[in-house]
Structure 1
Amino acid sequence: MVDSTAGFKYLSFMDAYSGYNQIHMHPDDEEKTSFITEQGLFCYRVMPFGLKNAGAEYQQMVNKVFKNELGGVIEAYIDDMVVKSCTGKEHVQHLNMIFQKMRDVGMRLNPKKSFFCLSSGKFLGYIVSERGIEVHPSKCRAIIDMEAPKTVKEVQELTGRIAALNRFIARSGEVCKPFFQTIKKTKKFEWTSQCQKAFEQIKTYLSNPPIISRPTKGETLYLYVSASAVAVSAALIREEDGVQKPVYFVSKVLRDAEERYSTVEKGAFAVLIAARKLRPYFQAHPIKVISDLPLRKALGNLDVSGRLLKWAVELSEFDISFLPKAAYKGQVLADFVVESTGRTEKRDQEALWHVHVDGAASERGSGLGVQIKGPKGEIFYYAIHITFPVTNNMVEYEALIAGLRLVEAVGATKVRVYMDSQLVVHQINGQYEVHDPTLAKYLEKAKEVLATFEEAMIEHVPRGMNEIADALSKLAKGSDMSSETPITIMEIPEACITATEPKVLPISAQLEWYTPIWDYLTTGQLPTDKLVARRIKRWAPEFTILEGELLKKGYRKPWLVCISESQGRKLIDEVHGGICGSHQSPYTVDKRIEREGYFWPTMRKDMIDVVRRCERCQYHSRVSRRPPASLNTIASPWPFDVWGIDILGPFPTAKANLRFLVVAVEYFTKWIEAKPLALITSPRIADFVKHNIVYRYGIPHTIISDNGRQFTGAPFQDMCEGFGILSLFSSVSHPQTNGLAEVSNRTILEGLKKKVEGSKGAWPDFLDEILWSYNTTPRTATGRSPFAMVYGMEAVTPMEIVQPTLRTIAYEWTKNNEKKLVELETIYELREEARARMAKYQRKMRKNFDKKVAPKHFQPGDWVLRSVEATGKHIGKLDPAWDGPFIVTRSIEGRAYRLQDLAGRDLPNAWNAVHLRKFYK
């Protein structure tokens, strides 16, 4: 709120007049504020001061009144309000708007405490102005005028006053450490010379305190961190017109185990403390952490410390990048880093390694010279003989790369290389272009090695300043160096750009998934895309580089080796179908690969893709029995419009060689017609339809059958065409399409089994009885018997003859005919009731059926496999369960499909989706 007020040219400070008393009490609550006086018992009619929730209630009222202006035109904390504007004209408009809001609700101001059109003023204990936020002079004076404390209580009072100004005091924790030492429980209070020195230092600092700047929306902020033996500190800075201005100072005194942190851990801890304390700033702004400590590398190397891992994960939600410390702009920053700068420069000088390299090529042989000077003055000499042909420029690159690898081997992180080859230096620095393909490979290799250092610089020097390295390179031809000089002789058998390095992460021409992470961990480089960069920063703490390999932290294993997606797919092929593979599921393959310690981000997706494309797995996979689509019920609009027909048998041979039974069932009334046949040829089936259906009940609209030859034959199809009947076929091996006929077959078959007993050849004799029983029994779908659905009344059954009913006992010819006529008049109502009941029954069936559906859809052009079982072929124990592949040519309502083989020949009949599965090429 204070930050939002600073930075404006015109400010008006307003205070409500007895603000709490401007809110009326609810009549039911007035008695709760009762108080006794000499004149009697009284209660408040307005909200009094002292109520527990009075402040919150008033703030809620202010928020409601200025809900559209808060944060923009006005800032309000309870009864303290500030109207802010950048220009005078705007300020007048803003005040008019605020005053009108106050008039609308009857809010009153205190004229003695309200001030208008000021350039600065006091708000919430701070002085706010266009320049920024300043400490109120009274708070500084309260410390400056203090005498040296003489008791623990006075020291506590001092530290409390300092704590109120922590935002303005750089390294306050480090400066105040002596004060905290005196507060510890000791036998005797002692004000030491260190305490007095810190006390005077605080007074001097507060005599000219800094002005805190207000950051603008979205601008980049800089965080300087400092770590000492007793405290960690941070300064949040913004840059304006080339000058860096403080936004917030944070400091924390180290306690117990924190004091034993390493210097790098203390620096990371300082960043963490700042992120926690200044979370709103970290969430709203990109933060660049500036420090001489290798914080980026420390927070990326997860094998160093468990606490660093935890801190890195916590910091990963913010947009934080790390930069080396640069020049300081402003006295405040100089005060903040004055102590750590000296240590930094000293440490920088101590950590820097100097390397001189040179190469020499000739017909007699080629050599490399490397001189390494350590931070403590130690010197190492290397004379390296190379046995492969090189040019002058190639040998210079070989010398550079060899020198870098040697200094890296001794643990150097900061290096400065000197060489006299102007071409190589300028190519690495980007000043010269590289046209030679071989030199381009050398340049890539050199940059790769340079990226492994925290800091690396290459400098061109005259030959005279590189004499020792030059002499080492020519050692094979003789040099002026004395024999007492310790020189290490080495040999390189092949060029560095062709050498096999199994421990080095390969960098392919195609950008691999791990390349941005590798670049970030080694060089701090991030992609230009902000979203990708943020994802890399969040992900990077889970990775580390060890001996040239990128590793990811695992859960079952400490570290997983990162490999490319192409390598991962080869690994999946080997584990799934290789020598030791048994074509296991993706889940099992995943566990095996993870157990071996490999990782790439799309491993599970790749496993599923590779395994499902395995031809052996596809041909031998289990056949699913789950329906591929929701239930599609067949409804008939009126009686005898749709019939289902099917063949039942063969039965035991009866008289006249009767062995089969043709059954037809009507879809609306559920009426069954059946006839025994000796042969089930197409002409005989056509004759059955004519005499048992057409001549009795009229020409139907549709007849549904399977794909048997008796139905697909010419006589039956000609009969259908002659009567204008639509002949529909169910898909192959999918009797559910003609389910009503199949159910009727089952009912007839069960009845025959129970009727024939020992005389199985007499089954035709019992057929009429079974049909009569079926047609006079109410069906669940309609609630009526098929007889009643056809004739409008129930049939008189033999049961009514054995045991007379009312209609047989009280039978009268005249009244009976009248009642029959009445029933015939209501037959349409009966059928409509049956239709509604049938629709409800089908919805219930569909609901139960759809629970088991596993959706399966194909598009024309898709490749599919067909179930061998559906073709009627015998399947052995080791035979594949699927054949194909075939190509889908047409979809029939998304449930059945027409297919053709790869030669382009159409397969006869349609195939239901339940017998097909997608083939992955």
Structure 2
Amino acid sequence: METYVSESLEQGYIRPSTSPASSSFFFVKKMDGGLPPCIDYRGINQITVRYSYPLPLIASAIKSMHGAHFFTKLDLRSAYNLVRIREGDEWKMAFSTTSGHYEYLVMPYGLMNGPSVFQAFVDKIFRDLHGLGVVVYIDDILIYSATRAEHVSLVRKVLGRLLEHDLYVKAEKCLFFQQSISFLGYRISKSGVEMENDRISAVRNWPTPTTVKEVQRFLGFANYYQRFIRGFGQVAALITSLLKGEPVRLQWSAEADRSFSHLKALFTSAPVLPHPDPSLAFIVEVDASEAGIGAMLSQLSGTPPKLRPCAFVSKKLSSAERNYDVGDRELLAVVKALKAWRHWLEGAKHPFFIWTDHRNLEYIWAARRLNPRQARWAMFSPVLFS
């Protein structure tokens, strides 16, 4: 702690303070063994106006990586400390240690708006490169290209942009010209995307929840990776229902335990999802039950051609939706799938097909009368059912 304080004073990140405010100072151990400082700013966060700037949807960014063969990952050094605190507000950032009372001159870790503020900062720097082989998530940068020559050019452009804005990377955490790479919990390669091995090990060894918070923690993890699980909403419905009504005590049951074990087994056998190829035809397979709806986006690829899933989507039905008849539940699954994958399906080179086991959906576009719900859903262009 004293080493950090002395180094931060020398770098101009902090200064001695006489502020009436004070927050607790501590270190948080990271997976790589590092100990980044963190301040307990819960008090100031409670009275802070939220800076509403969105963070990137990583799952959406990964979908655009079809054809990429080379990957480079950069990790920015002391990212937050590159943003200055507005003059006059430094006293609010005060913290205490055994050696004295100090306040930050730069943005520290622990502030509610820290991630959004820094994301807006780096987005402004790389705005013209988004969607062109560069993904920036706070202080992590992923560069991907189809050819080595393209990758050399793009990496140089990104590094030049960083140097231009006095941003520096941690050399020990950077990886260049990789055939596959780990990025924010995913393993990405030219073959597709899959769960990182340590995440699979984590879910395999996940202990049975004993409190409401432990259930929330598990579902938070599961929701992040639900795109790999077919029918996730239905499988997780029983565990999710344990949180209904914001209970204080957890009512764990034998059925919940079986559902928990089943969900863990599905995650440990999750497939590699290939990157969607816009030059191939898409197939959307939908299904509905009394508990939920689900859909799978797939393509025929390889030699011989084989149906390969690209993504899954699912949803637990609300109490009102459970009252729909079987046809409307199946149609709801179609609508959710088309909304989720509209950016792929509308821009596809070939017509796409929808596979369903409810044959009556074939005739919906020719129906003379639709109920109000069906009429709202009919905004989507006619598609091919089979």
Report the TM-score when normalising by structure 2: 0.71
Pair 151,78 (structure 1): closer, same or farther in 2 beyond 3 Å: closer
- Over alpha carbons, which structure has the higher Rg? 1
Which structure has more relative contact order (CA 8 Å, sep 6+)? It is: 2
1:267 is displaced (CA, Å) by 1.0
Distance in 2 (CA, whole Å) between partners of 1:152 and 1:57 is 32
- Residue number among 312, 319, 340 corresponding to 1:256 in the alignment: 319
Deviations 1:286-339 (A, max 9, x none): 5421223232313542535331122113x24xxx51231xxxxxxxxxxxxxxx
Equivalent residue number for residue 307 of structure 1: 373
Q: 5 Å matches for 1:170-181?
A: 170-181=230-241
1:30 is displaced (CA, Å) by 6.2
1:149 is displaced (CA, Å) by 4.1
1:189 is displaced (CA, Å) by 2.8
Q: Is the 8 A contact 2:284 2:353 kept in 1?
A: yes
Q: Which amino acid aligns with 1:209?
A: A
Q: Is the 8 A contact 2:361 2:385 kept in 1?
A: no
- Residue number among 343, 351, 354 corresponding to 1:289 in the alignment: 354
Secondary structure in 2 matching 1:103: helix
Deviations 1:577-608 (A, max 9, x none): xxxxxxxxxxxxxxxxxxxxxxxxxxxxxxxx
Q: 5 Å matches for 1:846-861?
A: none
- Residue number among 158, 161, 166 corresponding to 1:101 in the alignment: 161
Q: Is the 8 A contact 2:227 2:313 kept in 1?
A: yes
Pair 61,151 (structure 1): closer, same or farther in 2 beyond 3 Å: closer
Q: Is the 8 A contact 2:295 2:337 kept in 1?
A: yes
Equivalent residue number for residue 22 of structure 2: none
CA RMSD, 1 decimal: 3.1
Structure 1: which 5+ residue stretches go unaligned? 325-921
Secondary structure in 2 matching 1:266: helix
Q: Is the 8 A contact 2:212 2:250 kept in 1?
A: no
Equivalent residue number for residue 84 of structure 1: 144
Q: 5 Å matches for 1:348-427?
A: none
- Residue number among 293, 296, 310 corresponding to 1:235 in the alignment: 296
Secondary structure in 2 matching 1:256: coil
Residues 1:207 and 2:273 are matched in the alignment: no
Distance in 2 (CA, whole Å) between partners of 1:59 and 1:178 is 36
Q: Is the 8 A contact 2:295 2:314 kept in 1?
A: yes
Q: Is the 8 A contact 1:218 1:284 kept in 2?
A: no
Q: Which amino acid aligns with 1:105?
A: H
Equivalent residue number for residue 298 of structure 1: 364
Structure 2: which 5+ residue stretches go unaligned? 1-60
Residues 1:145 and 2:205 are matched in the alignment: yes
Distance in 2 (CA, whole Å) between partners of 1:51 and 1:178 is 35
Deviations 1:626-645 (A, max 9, x none): xxxxxxxxxxxxxxxxxxxx
Distance in 2 (CA, whole Å) between partners of 1:165 and 1:43 is 39
Distance in 2 (CA, whole Å) between partners of 1:81 and 1:24 is 22
Pair 46,224 (structure 1): closer, same or farther in 2 beyond 3 Å: same
Q: Is the 8 A contact 2:66 2:276 kept in 1?
A: no
Secondary structure in 2 matching 1:67: helix
Distance in 2 (CA, whole Å) between partners of 1:35 and 1:199 is 44
- Residue number among 70, 73, 90 corresponding to 1:13 in the alignment: 73
Equivalent residue number for residue 135 of structure 1: 195
Distance in 1 (CA, whole Å) between partners of 2:251 and 2:153 is 60
Pair 147,76 (structure 1): closer, same or farther in 2 beyond 3 Å: closer
Deviations 1:210-239 (A, max 9, x none): 112222346542210011222211111233
Residues 1:225 and 2:286 are matched in the alignment: yes
Pair 40,148 (structure 1): closer, same or farther in 2 beyond 3 Å: closer
Distance in 2 (CA, whole Å) between partners of 1:147 and 1:40 is 42
Distance in 2 (CA, whole Å) between partners of 1:253 and 1:165 is 16
Q: Is the 8 A contact 1:182 1:191 kept in 2?
A: no
Q: Which amino acid aligns with 1:208?
A: S
1:141 is displaced (CA, Å) by 2.6
Residues 1:321 and 2:386 are matched in the alignment: no
Q: Which amino acid aligns with 1:307?
A: R
Distance in 1 (CA, whole Å) between partners of 2:103 and 2:220 is 40
Deviations 1:393-436 (A, max 9, x none): xxxxxxxxxxxxxxxxxxxxxxxxxxxxxxxxxxxxxxxxxxxx
Distance in 2 (CA, whole Å) between partners of 1:87 and 1:226 is 39
Equivalent residue number for residue 191 of structure 1: 253
1:5 is displaced (CA, Å) by 4.2
Report the TM-score when normalising by structure 1: 0.32
Equivalent residue number for residue 227 of structure 2: 167
Pair 101,223 (structure 1): closer, same or farther in 2 beyond 3 Å: same
**By percentage of residues, which structure has more helix?**
1
Distance in 2 (CA, whole Å) between partners of 1:8 and 1:97 is 18
Equivalent residue number for residue 335 of structure 2: 272
Secondary structure in 2 matching 1:4: coil
